[in-house]
Amino acid sequence: MCIISFYRNEDEFVLTHNRDEEINRSSSKEIVEQKRFDKTYFSPVDERANGTWIFYSEQYVACILNGGIEKPTLFKEKYRESRGIILLDLLKYNSVNEFIDSENLSEIAPFTIFVFERTTKNAYLLFWNENKLSVKDVSQEKIVTWCSSTLYSPERRNEIDEIFNQNNELNSEEILELHDDLKMNKGDLYDFLATTSISQIIMNSLRIDMKYCQLF
């Protein structure tokens, strides 16, 4: 599932996420305030697994996509935990490096996590392939994009990356419009699959705000 983009515009940071999912997978209709590991966070809720695909807290802004760097060749019938719960496990740790060093990822399906540390303003892509967690530091990049390897071919992922990089001076509303243009419609791949929501987190030194548009 999913397309993400992250823009750094001077002191403003904008993370936008298209969730490509089964259209009958239910989720909350609004952003919910919750606690995990005594940390408050805000997110929409995946009602099947009680996790999420995007959240923000005092420490982090983060989201998750299915699949690692490469498209997985084999999926197990059952995994130990939902990836949307693993994303929230970031809240256990004081830094991304602690998560990398300590989180138990055995029996977890392949994923990509984008995470922004609000205190350091560092950003990372974390790729899990069921055997190894690879880390890419993207703290110096003005625009970061990624598409799920499970749904998008390498060629299409490169095309989408180029689209964002050609539109490198967008404001948050224009980024939302671009994500809407790139959304997956029902039937593009399968009749049961589409972009079911678009979420956006905007932050600067004064505020943080989240938009959540449910499409299915």
Share of residues in the chain with pLDDT > 70 (%): 100
Residue numbers of the domain that contains 138: 3-214
| pTM reported for the whole predicted model | 0.96
85: confidence class by pLDDT, cuts 50, 70, 90: very high
Q: Which helix (H) or strand (E) element contains residue 133?
A: strand 133-137
Q: How many domains does the chain have?
A: 1
DSSP for 79-95, please give it: -SS-HHHHHHGGGG-SS
Q: What CATH number is given to the structural domain containing 101?
A: 3.60.60.10
Query: Beta 60-66 vs 111-117: how paired, if at all?
Result: antiparallel
Query: Beta 133-137 vs 39-43: how paired, if at all?
Result: unpaired
What's the token pair of residue 124? 């990372």
Q: Mean pLDDT of all residues in the chain?
A: 95
The predicted-structure confidence for 102-118, as pLDDT tens digits, reads as follows: 999 999 999 999 999 99
The predicted-structure confidence for 140-170, as pLDDT tens digits, reads as follows: 999 999 999 999 999 999 999 999 999 999 9
CA distance 3 to 195: 9
Alpha carbon distances (Å) from 110 to 17, 65, 130, 143: 18, 9, 6, 24
